[in-house]
Amino acid sequence: MVDDLIVTREVAPLPLRGDDAHKGDVGRIAVIGGSYGDTVMVGAPTLAANASFRSGAGLVRLVVPHELLESAGVLAPCATMQSLPKSAGDLLRIVDDFRADVVAIGPGLGTSLTAEVIADFLAGYSGPVVVDADALNQLATLDSLNVPDPHRMVFTPHPGEAMRLLASTERPSSTTNSAEARHELACALVEKYRCTIVLKGRGTIVTNGDRIYTNQTGNAGMASAGTGDVLTGLIAGLIGQKLEPIEASILGTYLHGLAGDFASEELGRWSMTATDVLDYLPEAFGDYEASQGE
């Protein structure tokens, strides 16, 4: 399969934005995540929500456990909040009532939702979905995932999550971190799930089974908790502005790494955090927009 892919280095231009655009025109993003228990995770979904706004999204709805609503509202003040239900049907109603253009599910989710609920939600929701973190870990416990039109989905695993997703299938023969091994791993995921894969790490790989892109931006300072959540929100926000999942994934990965590079130049690699990547997204967008005009 690797040999049949079209290797691309092209990154899509930024989404078009009319002078008369309003917040309902440029993407309604629902972020489903967060967990409350022995371990509390509220930063992850709020990072994703804030990254969606930084990408240009007009509206973001955070769907988190009831106990996290107050703190989530402080961390993501531009987003609206709703309590996370336990059933797929209730979750689908929330997303439908919000009229979400895109859903991002998984940041900080822990075990707030079962694997079966996540699978039923993905089968019942017909729009684009970015699936990350604990949603991937939950899906990895299932033998298979049957959803209509899987090409609308984007999975954003790191290598450990990728291997868990492939636990019930024949894995790539190589276990090294070479470019060839990473390509094989990404392609194995596409073959199993038929969606766009963003395999994170040095030289993040983006592929949908037809095209494959290896990212050249980013640095080791981004090896910090929460940077993946920023990427999830960024990709979701770009899809919400009418980019195809593969184009949004390539552009989002490029801009995410570029923001990390700008942060590294100012702060150094040792002290960078995910919030620094978030803060430098405007500079990354501005630099890329300027480069498109040259």
pLDDT at site 292: 87
Least confident of 3-17, 248-262, 278-292: 3-17
pLDDT at site 173: 52
pLDDT mean over 239-265: 98
Question: Could you tell me the residue ranges of all domains in the chain?
Answer: 2-10+24-292
Q: Which residues contact 184 (CB under 8 A, 6 or more apart)?
A: 2, 172, 173, 174
User: pLDDT digit string (tens) for 188-230?
Assistant: 999 999 999 999 999 999 999 999 999 999 999 999 999 999 9
pLDDT at site 3: 60
pLDDT at site 169: 74
User: pLDDT digit string (tens) for 35-70?
Assistant: 999 999 999 999 999 999 999 999 999 999 999 999
Residue 181, token pair as written in the block: 């091994």
DSSP 229: H
pLDDT at site 213: 98
pLDDT at site 138: 98
User: pLDDT digit string (tens) for 87-123?
Assistant: 999 999 999 999 999 999 999 999 999 999 999 999 9
Q: What is the distance between the alpha carbons of residues 85 and 32, in angstroms, rounded to a whole number?
A: 10
**CB crowding 216-230: b at 16 or more within 10 Å, else e:** ebbeebbebebbbbb
Please state at what angle helix 245-267 crosses helix 227-239, rounded to 10 degrees: 140
pLDDT at site 171: 59
* CA-CA-CA-CA torsion sign (52, 53, 55, 58): positive
Q: Is the pLDDT of residue 146 over 70?
A: yes
CA distances from 7 to 3, 212, 215, 255 (A): 9, 5, 12, 19
pLDDT at site 24: 92
pLDDT at site 260: 98
pLDDT at site 176: 64
CA distances from 254 to 13, 117, 159, 259 (A): 11, 32, 19, 9
Q: Is the pLDDT of residue 258 over 70?
A: yes
**Residue in the structure block whose two tokens are 């509390």:** 40
Q: What is the distance between the alpha carbons of residues 159 and 152, in angstroms, rounded to a whole number?
A: 22
| Mean of the per-residue pLDDT values of the chain | 95
The CATH number fitting domain 2-10+24-292, selected from 3.40.1190.20, 3.40.710.10, 3.40.140.10, 3.90.1570.10: 3.40.1190.20
- How many C-beta atoms lie closer than 10 Å to residue 112's C-beta? 25
DSSP assignment of 108-139? T-TTSS-HHHHHHHHHH--S-EEE-HHHHHHH
The band of 186, judged by pLDDT with boundaries at 50, 70 and 90, is very high
List residues bridging with 198 in a β-sheet: 206
pLDDT at site 177: 78
